A and B are shown apart, each in its own frame.
Chain A
Amino acid sequence: MAAQPRPIHAEQTSYLEGGGIYGWLTTIDHKRIAVLYGVTAVFFMALGGFEAMAVRTQLMYPNNHFLSAQTYNQFFTTHGLTMIFLVIMPLETGFFGNFLIPLQIGARDVAFPRLNALSYWIFLFGAITLNLGWLYGGLPNGGWFGYANLTERYYSPGPNIDFFDLGLLVLGVSSVMSALNFFVTIINMRAPGMTFFRMPLFIWSILVTVILILLAFPSLTVGLIFLFMDRYFDTHYYRVIAGATPILWQHLFWIFGHPEVYIMILPAFGLISEVIPVFSGKPLFGYPMMVYAIIAIAFLSYGVWGHHMFATGMGPVADMTFSVTSLLIAIPTGIKIFNWLFTVWGGRLRFTTAYLFALAFVIQFTIGGLSGMMHASPPIDLEQTDSYIIVAHFHYVLGLGALFAILAGFYFYWPKVTGRMLSETLGKWHFWLAVWSFNATFFPMHFLGELGMPRRIYTYAPHMGWDFWNKWETWNAYIIALSFIPLLLNIYWSLTNGERATEDPWDARTLEWSVPTPPPIYNFAEVPTVTARDAFWVAKYGSVEASGLTQSAPAIAPALVDVSKIHIPAPSLYPLLMGLGIFGMALGMLIGWYRVIFTAMALLVFSAIAMAFEYPNWGEENPHAVAESFLGLDSRKVGMWSFIGSETVFFACLISTYMVYKSRSLGVYDAGILNIPLTSFSTFVLLTSSLLMVLALAAFQRDDHKWGTIWLIGTALFGCIFLGGQVYEFGDFWLEHGMVFNANLFSQCFYTLVGFHGFHVFIGVVWLLVMAFAGIFGKLNAKRSLAVEICGLYWHFVDIVWVVIFVLVYLMRTVKGA
């Protein structure tokens, strides 16, 4: 419609060009953010690899003294944490997720580009927090699952566990933010025609993964908050002496922990499902079954966490339940494995490096799955748990599984990301060295486990029958390290001398291969319209089943659009500053400097406000965006609802803990102290505030901004009255009855639960006041009523949580807990 249509190739510049260092620091482009994640993760892979080599060297001989027992504990713990949180997750969701989601669904970026940059910076600072022990006080040393009560200050006085605790909390914030962002993107930003059952399998796997992140991380967060309180405020969440049970930590951790292993393996499945069809020259076999299998796995993965806890003596009923659910997971997993095999079957195979890694994944992951089945049986697990057979299991699923899938994806997507080809010769060297060395290192761990070698011992006596395999594994571990040399050479060679990659070097099937290489910043000059699964293949050859021998259309039709008219959001420095603020707060907690905490908080608030002002028409319903969105919904509203979903699990964990601990609580304070008349009054206040909130929304929707503003102020006022009631209640308990925060299990659980709810009310009141000011200055109207609606959703959610708390905590106070 505009000036002069020109072919896109005249205008395109790659996303990698321009901007300098500052451009990278302020980028909000999903492809650049992907590269940032990738580079960071590779750095941590080297660090985690170094720790692994040191651990293996220590185990090479019996009675070895290469590392002290203390250093050994720090190294194996940090190795595990690093590989899980700083390598596999950021490579799979951070790198591949960021790079591929918009390109595969035909979008120009993710739903919230600034939030995306913020996620990266928070991730980086979380990673640094986790590793601060290199500089001071020592690395985390309690195993990656940091079992209570060894993590209590009394047993672990140093800062090691604080780095673990705060580092994971910060990383969790980052993960949940990007999960929310990706979720909204996939749900709402697909190109026209990209229905759910036309989405590439990688998109499916990421969609399910981010749902797992949204609904699993809150449990870990709650566990970590309790740990934080125990260590900093001397509460008793994991202290037996106060009537508590350390098993609570194990539950909270593994409710997160088992979904977490699927957070690490589902994207790997997704990558494999992209690579295998392309090099088999066939569409993926049984696409719908593959989708259902992913969903089934994810669903089941919430009901199996107890299989990590058979040795805690949960009793036959619980053991049996968790065993059955765990064994059920084998069914959808088996479906996936057979479908990959059927995809390969009868295809025209091209044995590229990417393909080899993908095929090796299928075999090696199956081995890991099989040992998983073994220890899903409680009697067998009692034998195997905490032995080297567990180490073999998770290295097969993660190292020889997820990492191999990542390498397959790496060789596959490198040309698209960098615009250069890799050397296949060096690639094959890498592959064969890796297959040999990984298997030679980890397979014999099954034997060592059966020979009784425990996991996490820093040394062992000679003549246990363990000497040979340990020495063998260490030498082969060194070959693992060597196997990365061809990869590094390859990267260097490719970046300096590599052949330039075309748009579609592999003759691939999905949309990301239809854009120039490397992609321009806006991805698609013209947003594609999708008519089938494997959209790009269909565009090239006419149908999904086409053999690919005769091309029916040119690979890339020269589009006639003026790309200079494409709206690209401006870069921003505030995500980085906000990340810095969060880091400063964590740092301030660690060193106990309140001045640092408050300065950092100020920085956080300042940059958040400044970032809000970067949105030119904040809160305005953008007819463009809504009309272009796949479902015709506003992304911000979808985002708010997903956030509420995640919060639901957060509160469920807090409430469960309260319910369980109120009946285990020792000492004088119990629910008898609660003041029912006062809270009944507060309940009415909060309910009324919700009514005022909907009246405000209704007013703005009919463009009556005077009454809208008045009702908003009223809502905030009622919120303040509620908070006042709570302050009075807490003050009364504290000062009049002497019920301090950590008096006993009841007091700490009560204050934490009700306090967190109160904190949500407080945030809501601040938000309402901001909205009220906007109303006073005439910034709110019917077109911007969505801003009011989203604020209202949050407010009503807070109200709903109170409906539950009022009944479970207050009115049922006399009911003996479960």
Chain B
Amino acid sequence: MSESAVEHVTAPAHHAAAESHHPTAVQYLVVAGILTVLTVCEIGVYYIPALQSVLVPLLLILSAGKFYLVAAYYMHLHFDSRIFSGLFFFPLTLAALILISLTLLLGFLAHHPGP
């Protein structure tokens, strides 16, 4: 029936939109480079004795950076509809809260229940 007609009308517009929304191969390579550097830093931090006292915050920051880069560029949240970002970051926040509360409740608070 009108299948091809519909395609004709909507497809070009849609594809044009899709193309401008996706990063190029060069951008991907840049991101990969940064990810590699961050990972090298992580491992470096782990092996440098002087940094042991700030190990946890440093590692958390570095891995958060990697996490963000993969989500934003490889999973193209940065370019996609913001709904997808919501679909990811809302559960992620919840997951983080669960992680923090469980470690608190079964760890710290179990030994220091309060006044």
Residues in chain A within 8 A of chain B (CB atoms): 1-2, 187, 214-215, 219, 245, 247-248, 251, 255, 302, 306, 313-318, 565, 621, 623-624, 626-627, 631, 633, 637-638, 641-642, 644-646, 648-649, 651-653, 655-657, 659-660, 663, 676, 680, 683-684, 687-688, 690-691, 693-695, 697-698, 701, 782, 792-793, 796-797, 799-800, 803-804, 806-807, 811-812, 815, 817-818
B91 and A818 form a contact (CB under 8 A): no
Known: A631-B83, A800-B67, A807-B60. A648 touches B105 (CB 8 A): no
A2 and B94 form a contact (CB under 8 A): no
Q: How far is the CA of A693 from the CA of B75 in the complex (A)?
A: 10
Choose from A623, A663, A690, A782 the contact partner of B107 (Cβ within 8 Å).
Answer: A663
Choose from B24, B45, B63 the contact partner of A804 (Cβ within 8 Å).
Answer: B63
Residues in chain B within 8 A of chain A (CB atoms): 1-3, 6-7, 10-11, 14-15, 18-19, 22-25, 28-29, 31-32, 35-36, 39, 42-43, 45-46, 55-56, 59-60, 62-63, 66-67, 70-71, 73-75, 81, 83-84, 87-88, 90-92, 94-99, 102-110, 112-115
A645 and B90 form a contact (CB under 8 A): yes
Can you list 18 residue pairs at the A/B interface with Cβ under 8 Å? A2-B1, A313-B113, A315-B110, A318-B105, A626-B10, A645-B92, A648-B95, A649-B91, A687-B36, A688-B32, A695-B25, A698-B24, A701-B18, A800-B70, A806-B42, A807-B42, A812-B56, A817-B103
Q: How far is the CA of A680 from the CA of B84 in the complex (A)?
A: 31
Q: Which of A652, A693, A796, A817 counts the most chain B CB atoms within 10 A? A: A652
In the complex, besides A624-B7, A687-B32, 20 extra interface pairs with C-beta distance below 8 angstroms are A215-B94, A255-B98, A315-B112, A318-B114, A623-B6, A623-B10, A627-B10, A649-B94, A652-B98, A653-B102, A659-B107, A684-B39, A687-B39, A694-B28, A701-B18, A792-B75, A800-B75, A807-B60, A807-B62, A812-B56
CB distance from A147 to the nearest CB of B (A): 16
B83 and A317 form a contact (CB under 8 A): no
Q: Which A residues lie within 8 Å of B88 (CB)?
A: 641, 644-645, 648
A659 and B56 form a contact (CB under 8 A): no
B105 and A693 form a contact (CB under 8 A): no
Q: Which A residues lie within 8 Å of B91 (CB)?
A: 214-215, 644-646, 648-649
Choose from B14, B71, B96 the contact partner of A652 (Cβ within 8 Å).
Answer: B96
CB distance from A2 to the nearest CB of B (A): 6
A648 and B92 form a contact (CB under 8 A): yes
B28 and A317 form a contact (CB under 8 A): no
B104 and A818 form a contact (CB under 8 A): yes
Q: How far is the CA of A793 from the CA of B84 in the complex (A)?
A: 11
A797 and B95 form a contact (CB under 8 A): no
A701 and B75 form a contact (CB under 8 A): no
Q: A697: nearest residue on chain B (CB-CB)?
A: B22
Q: Which A residues lie within 8 Å of B95 (CB)?
A: 648-649, 651-652
Q: How far is the CA of A817 from the CA of B96 in the complex (A)?
A: 16
B75 and A314 form a contact (CB under 8 A): no
Q: A216: nearest residue on chain B (CB-CB)?
A: B94
Q: Which B residues lie within 8 Å of A248 (CB)?
A: 106
Q: How far is the CA of A315 from the CA of B110 in the complex (A)?
A: 8
A676 and B75 form a contact (CB under 8 A): no
CB distance from B53 to the nearest CB of A (A): 11
Q: Which A residues lie within 8 Å of B105 (CB)?
A: 251, 306, 314, 318
B108 and A818 form a contact (CB under 8 A): yes
B107 and A641 form a contact (CB under 8 A): no
Q: A299: nearest residue on chain B (CB-CB)?
A: B94
Q: How far is the CA of A688 from the CA of B24 in the complex (A)?
A: 17
Q: How far is the CA of A659 from the CA of B18 in the complex (A)?
A: 42
A315 and B28 form a contact (CB under 8 A): no
Q: How far is the CA of A649 from the CA of B95 in the complex (A)?
A: 5
Q: How far is the CA of A623 from the CA of B56 in the complex (A)?
A: 48
Q: Which B residues lie within 8 Å of A187 (CB)?
A: 83
Q: Which B residues lie within 8 Å of A680 (CB)?
A: 39, 43
Pair count A-B, CB < 8 A: 184
A245 and B106 form a contact (CB under 8 A): yes
Q: Which A residues lie within 8 Å of B3 (CB)?
A: 624
Choose from B29, B32, B62, B107 the contact partner of A817 (Cβ within 8 Å).
Answer: B107
Known: A651-B95, A652-B95, A693-B74. A627 touches B6 (CB 8 A): yes
Choose from B29, B56, B62, B94 the contact partner of A815 (Cβ within 8 Å).
Answer: B56
Q: Which B residues lie within 8 Å of A807 (CB)?
A: 42, 59-60, 62-63
Known: A314-B105, A316-B114. A626 touches B14 (CB 8 A): yes
Q: How far is the CA of A31 from the CA of B107 in the complex (A)?
A: 49
CB distance from B106 to the nearest CB of A (A): 4
Q: Which B residues lie within 8 Å of A624 (CB)?
A: 3, 6-7
Q: How far is the CA of A251 from the CA of B112 in the complex (A)?
A: 18
Q: How far is the CA of A697 from the CA of B21 in the complex (A)?
A: 13
CB distance from B76 to the nearest CB of A (A): 8
Q: Which A residues lie within 8 Å of B96 (CB)?
A: 652
Q: How far is the CA of A57 from the CA of B82 in the complex (A)?
A: 57
Q: B94: nearest residue on chain A (CB-CB)?
A: A215
Q: How far is the CA of A684 from the CA of B37 in the complex (A)?
A: 11
Q: How far is the CA of A302 from the CA of B90 in the complex (A)?
A: 13
A812 and B55 form a contact (CB under 8 A): yes
Q: Which B residues lie within 8 Å of A633 (CB)?
A: 81, 83
Q: How far is the CA of A318 from the CA of B42 in the complex (A)?
A: 34
CB distance from B104 to the nearest CB of A (A): 7
B106 and A676 form a contact (CB under 8 A): no
B113 and A315 form a contact (CB under 8 A): yes
A660 and B106 form a contact (CB under 8 A): yes
Q: How far is the CA of A704 from the CA of B73 in the complex (A)?
A: 21
A811 and B43 form a contact (CB under 8 A): yes
Q: Which B residues lie within 8 Å of A803 (CB)?
A: 63, 66-67, 70
Q: Which A residues lie within 8 Å of B59 (CB)?
A: 807, 811-812
Q: Which A residues lie within 8 Å of B87 (CB)?
A: 638, 641-642, 644-645
A691 and B32 form a contact (CB under 8 A): yes
